[in-house]
Amino acid sequence: MLKNRERYLSFILVSPSILAVIIFIYGFIAWSLRVSFSKWKGLIADYSWVGLKNYLELFSDPRFHVDIRNTLIFTGVFVVGSIILGFIMAVILDQNLKGENFFRSLFLFPMAISYIVTGVVWRWLMNPATGDRLSGFNLLFKTFHLDFLVNDWHTTPTWGIAAIALAAIWQMSGYTMAIYLAGLRSVPHELREAAQMDGANQIQIYRHVIMPLLTPITLSALIILGHTSLKVFDLIIAIAGKQLPLDVPAIYMWQTTFDGLFYGRGAAIGILLLISVAVLIIPYIRYILRTDIES
Amino acid sequence: MKRFRIGNRWLYIPLIALAGFYLIPMYVMLVTGFKSFAEIDLTKMWNLPKGIAFDNYIEAFKQLSPYLKNSFLMVIPATLISSMLGSINGFVLAKWKFRGSDIIFPFILFGMFIPYQSIIIPLVQFMRAIGLTGLIGLAVAHIIYGIPITTLTFRNYYASLPQELLEAGKIDGATMLGIYRHILLPISIPSFVVVLIWQFTSAWNDFLFAVILTGNREWPVTVALNNMAGSQIISWNLQMAGSFLAALPTLLVYIFLGRYFLRGLLAGSLKG
């Protein structure tokens, strides 16, 4: 049993952190919420209550509709791409090939790099210039006679955001590879052997034995990558700057708040982002903590 | 132990193709950096350099060095302090619980995932009001928003240790702090490495906090690099060399301590 004095001490030890979390996370969320119900627009704070006005204006704002469409396209391409690519890489690396460590490190290293660096480099790789000025991937395609692949990348109307998602896949697919590989390694060997005894071939073993066991990993990847794509900001800024066709909520929030000084609307976008992240993350945290207690 | 093989060495074909895909941006950064100014031509960006020159790296370093220094000045204290806090929190939440500590933990955890757009307006207002701006303010922000991930990593590690380890200390009459310092801290080194790497990487790579909390003399390298890229005057070759310089510190950490990076990633590092 803990002595009372030491119980106090343990609380005192964590209290600075708890206080910081209460203020900087929950206090600030409440504060943002309050700003989102205000008409604050300009350098001087104005907390006059306007109710849901900022939210309602957003819902009928064409720019916010573009943001939602872009977020959906980005999320779809990025999440599906990272999961498929990560899974393929994990399955290949699970075959005990020579050089496995080298390839695994190679697929993971972009995660150590900043989105800004990735963005600056990809901006030149995806240069849409044509004719004599052809460069980047387009030049590479042309050289290898793959002209049909030459495209306008992020400057493509409507689907431009998908090009940004390609750079994000480059950066994050190593993460899905790593979690799938850890999952594959934890599949009991006997299970594969038993399936093989029953006459299943390799593809059948993956399809019917291994993949069902990896479902929790796929779910985690969906949630983690999905919530990352709601927050995407740096990568787009570094590739394309603040351009309306590639707008997303995080950029709109940024521009309307710090360039346009429309704090009320900026806060409303922030809160909407928080709600969409919370819908994904809260069940996830409950799930992690439940499995944590069981194990 | 024998493993199953799909098609053995044919698998190297997709593997090498994938390796090529991951290396392309690295190739362009490095090759461009080693070209002389005379060789720079966007339509020849894939060509190998004719010789080894350092023009681009030298010029990019000249432009970025104050900002690289800012990054180091901010990242080092931020990394050390948030790791220390995480270790103490993890210890208490795993091994020295007080009433309500199990309720607090998920609330700390949630902080790891919040979109920072939802707290950034109050953050700026608050930091200005208390006079914590510039690099110090940025370091404080990284420390505080780093608490959830560092706490989670240490808590998971300490929770995996047997309770008997502590009981032995208690029998010897050690106090709570004594047990932490003499029993747990010495065996926490691997977790410290994981957390230090993680915090170093995320604070170094951050852009959002940096761009709102610092002015142009205090920019860390991510902000400076982004402005370099947005400028019409600075040519692409310098941007490439600059990108490489900005990526180098975290890349080196990754190359030498990649094992721990992976462990951090799998342990709880679910942050995006």
**pLDDT tens figures, A217-265:** 999 999 999 999 999 999 999 999 999 999 999 999 999 999 999 999 9
Looking at the domain A37-294, which fold is it? MetI-like fold (1.10.3720)
Residues of chain A in contact with residue B121, where contact means CB-CB under 8 angstroms, are 31-32, 35, 257, 263, 266-267, 270
- How many angstroms away from the CA of A227 is the closest CA of chain B? 8
DSSP code, position B50: S
Tell which CATH classification among 3.30.420.10, 2.30.30.90, 1.10.3720.10, 1.10.357.10 matches the domain B63-267: 1.10.3720.10
Per-residue confidence at B271, pLDDT binned at 50, 70, 90?
Answer: very low
Q: Is B117 in Cβ contact with A231 (below 8 Å)? A: yes
Distance from C-alpha of A219 to C-alpha of A223, rounded to nearest angstrom: 6
Residues of chain B in contact with residue A271, where contact means CB-CB under 8 angstroms, are 118
Give how far Cα B33 sits from Cα of A39, A103, B54, B69, B243, Å.
50, 25, 7, 21, 10
| Nearest CB to A32; choose among B15, B119, B265 | B119
Q: Is B84 on the interface with A (CB under 8 A)?
A: no
The span from the first CA to the last CA of chain B, in angstroms, equals 36
Q: Is B251 in Cβ contact with A114 (below 8 Å)? A: no
Q: Is pLDDT above 70 for A77?
A: yes
**Which of A202-206, B212-216, B252-256 is least confident?**
A202-206
Burial group, residue B21, by CB count within 10 angstroms (0-12, 13-18, 19+): middle
Per-residue pLDDT, B272: 35
Listed residue (A238, A218, A222, A219) closest to A230, CA to CA: A222
| Nearest CB to A257; choose among B99, B121, B272 | B121
Domain borders along chain A are: 37-294
Per-residue pLDDT, A295: 53
Q: Is pLDDT above 90 for A143?
A: yes
Best mutation target, A9, A14, A79, to test chain B (most B CBs within 10 A) = A14
Neighbours of A187 (CB within 10 A): 15
- How many angstroms away from the CA of A158 is the closest CA of chain B? 23
Q: Is pLDDT above 90 for A149?
A: yes
**pLDDT tens figures, B91-128:** 999 988 888 888 999 999 999 999 999 999 999 999 99
What residue type is assigned to position A188 of the chain? P
Domain borders along chain B are: 63-267
Q: Is B251 in Cβ contact with A289 (below 8 Å)? A: no
Q: Is A189 in Cβ contact with B1 (below 8 Å)? A: yes
- B8 vs B149, more confident: B149
